[in-house]
Amino acid sequence: MSDLNKQEVIMKLIFSILLVFSVFGCGAIAQADEVKSTIKVQYGVGFSPDKLLDSSRKSINVGYYAALRGPVSWNVNGGYLGDDEVDLDAVYACAQFGAALHPFDWMFVENYFGPCYFDKAKGRLSGHLQFATNIGAGWRDPDTGSEIGLNWKHFSNAGISKPNVGIDLIMLSVGFGIR
């Protein structure tokens, strides 16, 4: 088995474990009177210093975000990423760990990081294994857990293969709370 195949098998195993834990474990651990989880839908376009908003790169993402105790939470998400510059149409799945803070009842600030698997890889995404970083903030209804926010999402391979250029996206996020 080649090194690339071993990496893919290991990452699929890690992702599967995180997915099962996230969906079946995290929501049950949160406090009973809290909004335990959120379903989020995000749409984004490319972002780079030389071209502020780049419509040649686009993504739509759906995720399940589950609370642990306090600000710590997990999420599993997946979606579509397109890059017209290199004719990339990829589907991806991610499992992420991070924190969602609520400095005020009406506000959220979040940061997540974790592995992703892409069904296709070329151009700025070299290799099927990528890592996603997501940083966002926005308005949150404390009673329903619904939210609207703006996120920066970055995909790259963390130097596992070359090139390691990555893709940055600005995402509009809409979330629906689940008790």
* Per-position pLDDT tens, the chain of length 179: 555 566 566 556 555 555 555 444 444 444 434 556 889 999 988 876 556 666 778 898 999 988 877 788 889 999 998 888 778 888 999 999 999 888 898 999 999 999 999 998 887 888 889 999 999 999 999 888 899 999 999 999 888 888 888 888 999 999 998 86
- CB distance 90 to 121 below 8 Å: yes
SS3 157: coil
Q: Give the residues across from 39 on adjacent strands.
A: 64, 176
pLDDT at 17: 56
Structure-block tokens of residue 144: 């329903």
Question: Which of these, 118, 112, 105, lies nearest to 73 by C-alpha position?
Answer: 112
pLDDT at 138: 96
pLDDT at 19: 52
CATH number at residue 77: 2.40.160.20
User: Per the structure, how many domains does the chain have?
Assistant: 1
pLDDT at 28: 40
pLDDT at 18: 53
Buried b (16+ CB within 10 A) or exposed e, 47-81: beeeeeebeebbbebebbbbbbeeeebbbbbbbeb
H-run or E-run covering 143:
none
Question: 117: domain range?
Answer: 3-178
